[in-house]
Amino acid sequence: MLHIETPLLRSTPLSTPDRTVWLKLENTQPSGSFKMRGMGRAVEKAVERGAERIVSSSGGNAGLAVACASRALGVACTIVVPSRTPVAMREKIAAEGVEVLVHGTIWDDAHEKACSLSGTLIHPFDHPDVWQGHATLIDEVAPVLKPDHVVLSVGGGGLMIGVLMGMARHGWGDVPLTTIETHGADSFAQAVEAGQLVTLPGIDSIALTLGARRVADEALMWAMRHDIRPLRVTDRAAVEACSRFLDDHRMLVEPACGAALAPLYAGELMGDVLVIVCGGASATREQLEGWEQAVDA
Ligand SMILES: *Cc1c(COP(=O)(O)O)cnc(C)c1O
């Protein structure tokens, strides 16, 4: 197993008399995010099927998880990232001993390039192996807690699909799922409203990790068979949630994760609320200051 079993923490600062918030701390995964679960599983499966080189495209966390998994399994690996991926993140990926290529400005550009390379392509969110890996996080919660709500952020929808698969197999089919995106990266909310997949013209949010212009088909399929409540938050609310979470829990997460915490800081949702603290490896003190300045500008 390449990922670890993560802590499930009852949050005192976020809980109120009407609400108990449970944090599933995926930020403590070896690669800094839940991606270790799904990408780890996908790389493992690819190697079992005889892959000699792994190729992946990623704005960051998926690439880092694929790199970690490839190194652990001793398989060659190339990660293609867009130029908007911070240099520090590229360096983190390269430090796993894999090849890093920069192509285009957003994830879609990098993904197109990755598709043209030889090797076994690992998709960052749209593959059953990835979903199966993410689903294991619910396996860890289910023996302890059946919540009244689950909250998570959505980029391409891989985390959401995996969590819904885990919820289904543990009899949580009646537990509503609140999905969070930032304005400007709301490809899932728009798809649900339109009743069909929507391709955004571009990504206009600092939560780069949520910047998939189009979600996986399967994400929309789930919206038809589960009580899913898409919510949008501002970049400012996502960044403020990062700052408050740092003070409250002494853990630094990126805006893609702060987005999922934002409705809780806004006082929304009652009962037992399970929040997937998805993490993010690109968060540093300096980055947080940069994000704070960006949303104040
Ligand atoms: C990848 C990622 C997301 C979005 O996950 P999807 O599977 O693309 O929906 C959210 N937060 C963080 C920190 C991530 O790394």
Nearest CA to ligand 1 atom 4: 155
Best probe residue, ligand 1, of 29, 34, 36 (max atoms within 8 Å of C-beta) = 34
Report whether 136 contacts 276 (CB < 8 A).
no
Q: Domain segments of the chain: what residues?
A: 8-34+128-296, 35-122
Q: How far is the CA of 291 from the centre of ligand 1 (A)?
A: 18
Q: How far is the CA of 156 from the centre of ligand 1 (A)?
A: 7
Best probe residue, ligand 1, of 3, 29, 35 (max atoms within 8 Å of C-beta) = 35
Which amino acid, residue 91? E
Which amino acid, residue 138? I
The H or E element containing residue 271 is: strand 271-277
Which tokens is 190 given? 């728009």
- Return the pLDDT at 75: 98
Q: How far is the CA of 199 from the centre of ligand 1 (A)?
A: 18
Tell how strand 99-102 and strand 120-122 pair up: unpaired
**Which 3 state secondary structure label does DSSP give 196?**
coil
CATH placement of domain 8-34+128-296: 3.40.50.1100
- Return the pLDDT at 106: 79
Q: Give the Cα-Cα-Cα angle 27, 30, 33 (nearest 5 degrees).
A: 35
CB-defined site of ligand 1, < 6 Å = 33, 35, 61-62, 125, 153-160, 209-210, 212, 254, 256-257, 278-280
Q: How far is the CA of 208 from the centre of ligand 1 (A)?
A: 9
Nearest CA to ligand 1 atom 1: 209
pLDDT of 82-110, one tens digit each? Answer: 898 888 889 999 999 999 999 998 777 88
Q: Give the contacts of 97 (CB within 8 A, at least 6 positions apart).
A: 67, 71
What CATH number matches the domain at 35-122, 3.40.50.1100, 3.30.450.20, 3.30.470.10, 3.40.50.300?
A: 3.40.50.1100
Which tokens is 60 given? 């960051």
The H or E element containing residue 188 is: helix 187-194
Common-topology check for domains 8-34+128-296 and 35-122: yes
Report whether 104 contacts 133 (CB < 8 A).
no
Nearest CA to ligand 1 atom 13: 280
Nearest CA to ligand 1 atom 7: 158
- Return the pLDDT at 59: 66
Which tokens is 51 given? 């892959």
Strands, sheet with 19-25, edge to edge from the N-terminal-most edge strand: 8-16, 19-25, 271-277, 149-153, 177-182, 228-233
Spans of the chain, pLDDT less than 70: 59
- Return the pLDDT at 66: 97
Nearest to 295 by CA among 213, 216, 207: 207
Which tokens is 275 given? 């929040």
Ligand 1 atom nearest to 219, measured from its CA: 9
Ligand 1 atom nearest to 161, measured from its CA: 7
* Residue with token string 């853990």: 251
Ligand 1 atom nearest to 160, measured from its CA: 9
